[in-house]
Amino acid sequence: MTKKQTAKFLNFRYKILALILVVLAGGLVLLPKYQKNEGIKPEQLLANTISLERYISTDQMAHKLISQDPSFILVDVRDENSYNSYTLPNAINIPLKKLLDDESKAYLNQNQFDVVFFSNDHYYADQAWILCNRLGFKNLRVLKGGLNHWFKTIINPPKPTEDMPEEAYSLYDTRKAASMFFGVVYPDQVQSNEVETPKIAPKKIITVKKKKKVAEGGC
Amino acid sequence: MGPLIPNNLIPLEWNSIIAILIGIVFGFVLEASGFSSSRKLAGVFYGYDFAVLKVFFTAAVVSVIGLYYMDYLGYLDITQLYVHPTYLWGAIIGGAIMGVGFVAGGFCPGTSLCAVAIGKLDAWVYVGGILLGIFMFSELFNFIEPIYDGYFLGNITLMDTFSWNPYWFIFIFSIIAIVAFAFSDFVQKKIKKVFY
């Protein structure tokens, strides 16, 4: 290319640059569009799913409730009737159908509190967990075993048999104490209505014998 | 993949260091291309130098095209980018004041600091004015607060407000940019040359 040709080419340089810009911008318009996945990536979702942090045990939950831990929100994902008949203390009701409403999102999509889902088993709670996790909400947990397991372990803990190790006994004691916190009454804890009257001890009459004066000393 | 820092590909702690490095390069390029001269900046309003218009328009168009290609190819999630929140009347009034200051002083805040660095006296006065303005704003803050915090529309973009297709918008935006460049060249030829 001679100098003259180069100069001629450079005369057009702005036009060429402008053309490149238009072609690139037009390319964006013409590119075939595809549906993008909303929320987090599948690999991330899988990693969250197999994470041990996904579940919280009923014992941990009981401990949190008893110690009045303020760091979590309990979310009951069952329908309203079940919620009204029984639920965990301070739980809020977000039925699975209303999970992605704007009103519910205020509770679920935040960074301040842990959210603990529960249902009768952990089946529906897991569904809620997956849906919310997929949308990238943080700090979600599921109560392992749900309310059924809650009843089996905390409200009505099985008494350990004699061939069980000591830990089973201490666990039973803890659970029993927890169940008493949640309002269960055990027969051996019931106090009878009889008012124990303190036995009045018969007055002992002590007769004091007057000592005879003994002649003191004396020489 | 991207943005790099929110997705932890670069640790958060690097944030300020990267910002300082970008700032140094930005300042260098501003100064090297003559943007620390108030005459060059004011030229866009008098029609003898359209460098400012061309530079910022080109920057916007190139970056938006690049970002959307990266989004399309999956290197960047455009929804994760920060969108500056809109306080409608605050932006309108602030923009008008800033515009008056721009025409009158011949600097925008960034270029004024650039010019301070190379020792331009008008820039010293200009930055003094900025500091005075900040002081007055702080003193009058209680009075201004309803406008400052009010008319909040959230982190919205033109696509959200008018539900436009972003790709068509970028295409039309680049056409507008090119037309603006051609028009500014045309105007520049008509206006008497100013040497500065």
Classify burial at A89, counting beta carbons within 10 Å of its beta carbon; exposed 0-12, middle 13-18, buried 19 or more: exposed
Pair A6, A100 in one domain: no
Contact B15, B9 (CB under 8 A): no
Look up the CATH number of the domain holding residue A66.
Answer: 3.40.250.10
Is A115's pLDDT higher than 60?
yes
Pair A57, A12 in one domain: no
User: How far is Cα B3 from Cα B150, in angstroms, rounded to an integer?
Assistant: 30
* Cα–Cα distance list, A32 to A215, B65, B84, B167, B171 (Å): 132, 16, 29, 11, 15
A200 domain-assigned: no
Q: What is the pLDDT of residues A172-182, one digit of tens each?
A: 999 988 888 88
Q: Which of A126, A153, A180 is the last residue of a domain?
A: A153
Q: What's the pLDDT score for residue B17?
A: 94
Total tally of structural domains belonging to chain A: 2
> Taking CB atoms and an 8 Å limit, are A28 and B68 in contact across chains?
yes
Q: Does A14 reach chain B within 8 Å, measured CB to CB?
A: yes
Q: Supply the range of the domain harboring residue A7.
A: 1-32
B139 min Cα distance to partner chain A (Å) = 34
Q: Does A20 reach chain B within 8 Å, measured CB to CB?
A: no
pLDDT category of residue B179 using cuts at 50, 70 and 90: very high
Contact A99, A106 (CB under 8 A): no
Residues 57-76 of B with CB under 8 A from A: 61-62, 65, 68-69, 72
Pair A8, A90 in one domain: no
| Top-ranked range on mean pLDDT: pick from A27-31, A152-156, A183-187, B127-131 | B127-131
Is B123's pLDDT higher than 80?
yes
Q: Does B9 reach chain A within 8 Å, measured CB to CB?
A: no
Q: What is the pLDDT of residues A56-108, one digit of tens each?
A: 999 999 999 999 888 889 999 999 998 999 888 888 999 988 888 888 888 88
Pair A18, A113 in one domain: no
User: How far is Cα B137 from Cα B102, in angstroms, rounded to an integer?
Assistant: 18
Average pLDDT over residues A190-200: 65
User: How far is Cα B110 from Cα A149, in angstroms, rounded to an integer?
Assistant: 63
Pair A16, A80 in one domain: no
Rg (CA), chain B: 19
Pair A94, A23 in one domain: no
Pair A22, A87 in one domain: no
Pair A66, A105 in one domain: yes
User: How far is Cα A114 from Cα A74, in angstroms, rounded to an integer?
Assistant: 9
A141 domain-assigned: yes
Pair A24, A53 in one domain: no
Pair A51, A106 in one domain: yes
Residue type, B184: S
CB pairs under 8 A between A and B: 37
pLDDT category of residue A210 using cuts at 50, 70 and 90: low
DSSP assignment of A90-110 equals T-EE--GGGTTSHHHHHHHS-
Q: Which of A133, A153, A173 is the last residue of a domain?
A: A153
User: How far is Cα A145 from Cα A148, in angstroms, rounded to an integer?
Assistant: 6
Pair A57, A95 in one domain: yes
State ipTM. 0.77
Measured between CA atoms, the residue of chain B closest to residue A136 is B80
A26 min Cα distance to partner chain B (Å) = 6
Q: Which of A119, A153, A187 is the last residue of a domain?
A: A153
> Taking CB atoms and an 8 Å limit, are B174 and A21 in contact across chains?
yes
Residue type, A56: I
Measured between CA atoms, the residue of chain B closest to residue A41 is B1
A89 domain-assigned: yes
Q: Does B170 reach chain A within 8 Å, measured CB to CB?
A: yes
Top-confidence residue, B80 or B126: B126
A139 domain-assigned: yes
Is residue B176 helix, strand or coil? Answer: helix
Top-confidence residue, A18 or A39: A18
Total Cβ atoms within 10 A of residue B15: 11
B36 min Cα distance to partner chain A (Å) = 25
Q: What is the pLDDT of residues B14-64, one digit of tens each?
A: 989 999 999 999 999 988 888 888 888 888 888 888 888 898 899 999 999
A49 domain-assigned: yes
Pair A135, A54 in one domain: yes
User: How far is Cα B192 from Cα B6, in angstroms, rounded to an integer?
Assistant: 50
A205 domain-assigned: no
Q: Which residues pair with B87 in a beta bridge?
A: B152
Measured between CA atoms, the residue of chain B closest to residue A23 is B171
* Cα–Cα distance list, B61 to A18, B56, B80 (Å): 11, 9, 20
pLDDT category of residue A194 using cuts at 50, 70 and 90: low
Is B168's pLDDT higher than 70?
yes
Give the predicted TM-score (pTM) of the model. 0.61
Is A1's pLDDT higher than 80?
no
